[in-house]
Chain A
């Protein structure tokens, strides 16, 4: 319907993903993701390249700016435009995240200020991807103050997933599976479900007008319903939710089981069983992380594609 398509949707997704990856490693570094963690590096490495690649996609989507690239520098000019804010935020974030990654790579302690500025810029990047759409009154479906909330929560969730996936493949020397990570992810996925529910509740309350409802209908029941329910809700949210709930239950039981073991003094039996089970749950965990990211990308695409203008350009 509108002018923007896949490139912009992927750009919005990558902006959130990179920001989320940085924040994951930041949280891990500060000890929020368990005492022993392997998530404290990979997120830093990938965040700047991901956001930079996203920005490149934004540039490829330009019209005249692609033919006359010197015009792009002017995108720093209009301080009332959210897109201009975004250009500043993205530039600053890419710069800071790159320096932070350099410190991590050299195994040197980066100044605390740098890490914190990076974290603030990461949050700003994630929020900006939502704000870009939320300020457009011409598209009632976007024009919701819950839009940045949904995008930030999704950014954190996809960033955690990406960092966990990469840590699994590239940080093989110290594999740790902290239950804290699953708990945090359970919390994030729940928050995302809640914020998306609130987002639709706000639209169906009628506060954003009839056109916003038409856009929402596209997602819930009409042409975009299949990817919405299948990829976003089922695969991206409910599936992972069920899995994380189960995991946190198993982990609650585990200490109990160990005590029982000690009592019966039957230590050699469960070891093999546990290994098999943990490999299985490890695979499920990876699948879950993949699904969360697919859900995140689907969310951005659906929101961009469901944009109906406040007026369809016809006389009634």
Chain B
């Protein structure tokens, strides 16, 4: 008698548990569509600053000389395993010269607890102040493009700042200046975004941070 009762009880609880599991899984799945709708709204958002400058990379023109990377390293003396600019390449012969993309919605600036990041109103450049950085590493996770790196020696994050001092004196950044074929250029994102985007060879969805860079494939 009591044995029967026990079996019945456990069967009932198994069914109950199963139903509950199913419900929870369904709850887990439901709000996705709502979230997606929100994302598409975000995509069409107005620019966040008065002006937004950005990089443009034309793969067909690039001769992979890496001058852009070299001049950046020589000028700002970053450690080679914590680069500000990289020339990415794959076996197929594709390439991309990329630094920080000075995003319209910079995830780094949003998560940094000490406010080391500022986005300039005048041109949308995202500048990181290493002297404020505590080195918590939160921005390293937040940035989808692996732009911020911790410099081992100082323990502080640093990244490309679009040579903002040169910008202020009226000239362009070092990397753009040194590119022999004008594969790497800069411009106003209003015009650049007419020509392309950063939906490029495995790169993350541009909707996450709205990067200020376009890449034109071969």
Q: Which residues of A contact B (CB under 8 A)?
A: 2-4, 58, 61-67, 71-72, 74-75, 77-78, 80-84, 87, 135-139, 145-146, 190, 194-195, 197-199, 201-202, 205, 207, 249, 307, 309-316
Contact = CB atoms under 8 A, between A and B. Distances in A.
Report the 9 A-B pairs with minimum CB-CB distance, sorted nearest first.
Answer: A63-B135, A63-B155, A65-B134, A316-B202, A3-B137, A198-B28, A64-B156, A207-B32, A74-B114
Contact of B141 (A84, A136, A202): A136
Interface stretch (B64-72, B142-150, B177-185, B187-195): B142-150
Nearest to B117: A78
17 contacts: A63-B155, A74-B134, A78-B113, A83-B113, A83-B136, A83-B138, A84-B113, A137-B144, A194-B24, A197-B25, A202-B28, A202-B32, A309-B144, A309-B146, A311-B145, A314-B90, A315-B202
A205 B32 contact: yes
Interface string B109-152: 01111110000000000000010111111101111111000100
Given A63-B155, A195-B24, 17 more contacts: A63-B133, A63-B157, A65-B133, A74-B115, A75-B114, A77-B113, A77-B114, A83-B113, A87-B113, A137-B209, A138-B142, A194-B24, A202-B29, A310-B205, A311-B202, A312-B202, A315-B94
Interface of B: 6, 17, 20-21, 24-25, 27-29, 31-32, 35, 88-90, 94-96, 107, 110-115, 130, 132-138, 140-146, 150, 154-157, 201-205, 208-209
B135 A64 contact: yes
Nearest to B92: A315
A315 B88 contact: yes
A80 B88 CA distance: 32
B37 to A, nearest CB: 13
Most buried by A among B31, B94, B115, B130: B115
B141 A138 contact: yes
A80 B209 CA distance: 15
A64 to B, nearest CB: 4
B170 to A, nearest CB: 32
Contacts of B208: 137-138, 310
B115 to A, nearest CB: 5
Nearest to A8: B137
B144 to A, nearest CB: 5
A135 B144 CA distance: 13
A65 B20 CA distance: 46
A62 B21 contact: no
Contact of A62 (B135, B204, B209): B135
A243 B104 CA distance: 53
Nearest to B94: A315
Contact of B144 (A58, A201, A307, A310): A310
Contacts of B150: 3, 63
B110 A81 contact: yes
Contacts of A314: 88, 90, 202
A74 B114 CA distance: 5
Contacts of B27: 198
A249 B157 CA distance: 57
A235 to B, nearest CB: 20
Contact of B95 (A65, A66, A307, A315): A315
B146 A198 contact: no
Nearest to A72: B134
A312 B113 CA distance: 25
A136 B201 contact: no
A71 B132 contact: yes
A146 B35 CA distance: 14
A161 B144 CA distance: 38
A83 B156 CA distance: 17
B186 to A, nearest CB: 22
A54 B147 CA distance: 29
A77 B133 CA distance: 12
Contacts of B21: 194, 197
Contacts of A138: 107, 141-144, 208
A19 to B, nearest CB: 20
Contacts of A136: 107, 111, 141-142
A315 B201 contact: yes
A315 B156 contact: no
A309 B146 CA distance: 9
B137 A63 contact: yes
Nearest to B96: A315
Nearest to B6: A249
Given A135-B111, A205-B32, A71 B134 contact: yes
Given A315-B88, A315-B201, A316-B90, A198 B133 contact: no
B14 to A, nearest CB: 11
A75 B134 contact: yes
Given A84-B113, A138-B208, A307-B141, A145 B31 contact: yes
